[in-house]
């Protein structure tokens, strides 16, 4: 097994059986993660290739390029797979979280503003799975994902990156 080269994009193998780089997740596992946890349909990813750059940082690119690619960015970083539980990025939650049917927590406006500012909040109404949830609020006449929160022990912990946090 080869090691992951953190400076270049390595394409994810189709399945675990095709794996050539140690610990690299497969495309099949990534697609299954979005489907099983969030209910995002598999065909959402039909036109996408998945790549790893950095340890466990997974990127989704709508198209094909030769592999491995030594470039600066390829589509969007969508997932971290290096922790105990896989974690969607804020940008992925915003772009694809609207397709989610499960593990979505809807916030009122005060909760949404606190979430965006990076504050943790006690929210006792959630009776679904713990872990990383897509947080939404209403804007412009419909719900829209803001980002990802970690729900544990009746508390929603904002995972909005520091540079994105705002006090509106």
Partner 1 sequence: MDDPLSRYEGLVDDYGAFRDACERPLPQVVRVNTLKASVPRTVRALDEAGIGYERVGWNDTLLELDTDKPGNTWPYVHGWLYGQEEVSTLPGLACDPEPGDRVFDPCAAPGSKTTHLAALMDDEGLLVANDSNLGRLSALRSNTERCGLTNVAVTKSDARNFSLKPFGGERFDRAVVDVPCSCEGTIRKNPDALDEWTLDHVEGVAGIQKGILNRAVEVTKPGGTVVYSTCTFAPEENEAVLDHALANHDVEVVEYDLPLETRPGVTEWEGDEFDPSVARAKRVYPHHNDTGGFFCAKLEVAG
Residues that bind partner 1 (CB under 8 A): 47-48, 60-63, 65-66, 69-77, 91, 94-95, 116, 139-142, 144, 146, 163-164, 166-168
Q: Nearer to partner 1 by C-beta: 16 or 164?
A: 164
- Name the CA radius of gyration of the chain, rounded: 17
Query: What span, in angstroms and rounded, lies between the C-alpha atoms of 135 and 160?
Result: 10
Q: How far is the CB of 124 from partner 1 (least distance, A)?
A: 25
Query: What span, in angstroms and rounded, lies between the C-alpha atoms of 31 and 36?
Result: 9
Query: What span, in angstroms and rounded, lies between the C-alpha atoms of 46 and 165?
Result: 32
Q: How far is the CB of 84 from partner 1 (least distance, A)?
A: 25
**Burial (CB count <10 Å: 0-12, 13-18, 19+), residue 119:** middle
Q: How far is the CB of 167 from partner 1 (least distance, A)?
A: 8
Tell me how crowded residue 78 is: count the other CB atoms within 10 A of its CB. 23
Q: Nearer to partner 1 by C-beta: 4 or 44?
A: 44
Q: Nearer to partner 1 by C-beta: 25 or 147?
A: 147
Two tokens at 124? Answer: 């006792």
Q: How far is the CB of 49 from partner 1 (least distance, A)?
A: 10
Strand partners, 137: 144
Q: How far is the CB of 141 from partner 1 (least distance, A)?
A: 6
Q: Nearer to partner 1 by C-beta: 54 or 131?
A: 54
CA-based nearest residue to 114, from 147, 81, 139, 68 = 147
Q: Nearer to partner 1 by C-beta: 50 or 132?
A: 50
């Amino acid at each position: 097994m080869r090691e992951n080269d953190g400076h270049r994009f390595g394409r994810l193998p189709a399945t675990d059986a095709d794996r050539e780089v140690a610990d690299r997740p497969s495309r099949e596992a990534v697609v299954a993660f979005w489907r099983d946890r969030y209910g995002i349909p598999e065909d959402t990813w039909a036109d996408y290739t998945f790549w790893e750059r950095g340890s466990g940082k997974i990127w989704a690119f709508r198209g094909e390029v030769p592999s491995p690619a030594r470039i600066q960015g390829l589509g969007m970083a969508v997932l971290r797979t290096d922790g105990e539980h896989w974690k969607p990025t804020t940008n992925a939650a915003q772009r694809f979280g609207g397709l989610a049917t499960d593990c979505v927590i809807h916030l009122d406006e005060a909760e949404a503003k606190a979430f965006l500012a990076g504050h943790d909040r006690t929210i006792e109404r959630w009776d679904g799975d713990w872990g990383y949830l897509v947080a939404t609020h209403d804007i412009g006449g419909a719900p829209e994902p803001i980002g990802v929160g970690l729900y544990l022990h009746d508390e929603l912990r904002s995972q909005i990156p520091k540079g994105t946090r705002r006090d509106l």
